[in-house]
Amino acid sequence: MEKENSFSTINQERIEQYLPHLSIDCCVFGFHENQLKILLIQWEGFELWSLPGGFILPDESADAAAQRILRERTSLQDIFLEQFKIFGEVNRTNNPESRKVIQQSGLDPTAQNWLLQRTISLGYYALVDFSKAIPTTAPLIQDCRWWDIQAVPPLMQDHAEILKHARKALQLHLLNKPIGYNLLPEKFTMTELRRLYETILGKSIDRRNFEKKMLKLGILDRLEEVKTNVTHKAPLLYRFNQAKYHELLNADFGFGF
Amino acid sequence: MEKENSFSTINQERIEQYLPHLSIDCCVFGFHENQLKILLIQWEGFELWSLPGGFILPDESADAAAQRILRERTSLQDIFLEQFKIFGEVNRTNNPESRKVIQQSGLDPTAQNWLLQRTISLGYYALVDFSKAIPTTAPLIQDCRWWDIQAVPPLMQDHAEILKHARKALQLHLLNKPIGYNLLPEKFTMTELRRLYETILGKSIDRRNFEKKMLKLGILDRLEEVKTNVTHKAPLLYRFNQAKYHELLNADFGFGF
* DSSP string across B90-139: TTSSSSHHHHHHHHHTTS--STTSGGGS--EEEEEEEE--TTT-----BT
Give me the torsion for CA of B216, B219, B224, B229, rounded to 10°: -100
- Among A70-74, A162-166, B6-10, B150-154, the range scoring the smallest mean pLDDT is B6-10
With an 8 Å Cβ cutoff, are A61 and B213 in contact?
no
Q: What pLDDT sits at residue B30?
A: 96
What mean pLDDT is reported for chain A?
87
Whether A5 has a pLDDT exceeding 60, the answer reads: no
Mean pLDDT for the stretch of residues B79-84: 94
**How many contacts (CB atoms, under 8 Å) link A and B?**
109
Q: What pLDDT sits at residue A98?
A: 81
Whether B101 has a pLDDT exceeding 90, the answer reads: no
pLDDT band at B105 (very low <50, low <70, confident <90, very high): confident
Q: What pLDDT sits at residue B4?
A: 44
The string of pLDDT tens digits covering residues A175-225 is 888 888 889 989 999 999 999 999 998 889 999 999 998 898 889 999 987
Can you tell me the distance from the alpha carbon of A132 to that of A74, in angstroms, rounded to the nearest whole number? 8
Task: Compute the C-alpha angle B82/B85/B86, nearest 5°.
Answer: 125
List, as ranges, residues 22-41 from A with C-beta within 8 Å of B.
22
Q: Bigger pLDDT: A124 or A17? A: A124
Find, in chain A, the residue whose alpha carbon is nearest to that of B212: A257
Picking from B25, B120, B162 by the largest number of A CB atoms within 10 A of its own CB, the best residue to mutate is B120
B8 contact A CB<8A = no
ipTM exceeding 0.95, yes/no: no
Mean pLDDT for the stretch of residues B105-121: 83
Find, in chain B, the residue whose alpha carbon is nearest to that of A173: B172
Alpha carbon of B142: minimum distance to chain A alpha carbons (Å): 30
Q: Bigger pLDDT: B214 or B106? A: B214
Q: Bigger pLDDT: A124 or B203? A: A124
With an 8 Å Cβ cutoff, are A86 and B122 in contact?
yes
Contacts of B205 in chain A (CB under 8 A): 257
Find, in chain A, the residue whose alpha carbon is nearest to that of B253: A172
Residues near A59 by beta carbon (within 8 Å), at least 6 away in sequence: B90
pLDDT band at A40 (very low <50, low <70, confident <90, very high): very high
Helix (H) or strand (E) holding A5: none
With an 8 Å Cβ cutoff, are B171 and A252 in contact?
yes
pLDDT band at A4 (very low <50, low <70, confident <90, very high): very low
Q: What pLDDT sits at residue B252?
A: 57
A120 contact B CB<8A = yes
Whether B77 has a pLDDT exceeding 70, the answer reads: yes
Mean pLDDT for the stretch of residues B243-250: 82
For residue A9, the 8-state DSSP code is G
Alpha carbon of B3: minimum distance to chain A alpha carbons (Å): 36
CB-nearest to B256 from A86, A168, A255 is A255
Whether B33 has a pLDDT exceeding 80, the answer reads: yes
Can you tell me the distance from the alpha carbon of B119 to that of B21, in angstroms, rounded to the nearest whole number? 4
Whether B2 has a pLDDT exceeding 60, the answer reads: no
Q: What pLDDT sits at residue B109?
A: 83
Nearest alpha carbon to residue B120 among A166, A61, A88: A61
B1 contact A CB<8A = no
Q: Bigger pLDDT: A256 or B193? A: B193
The string of pLDDT tens digits covering residues B120-142 is 999 999 999 999 999 999 988 99
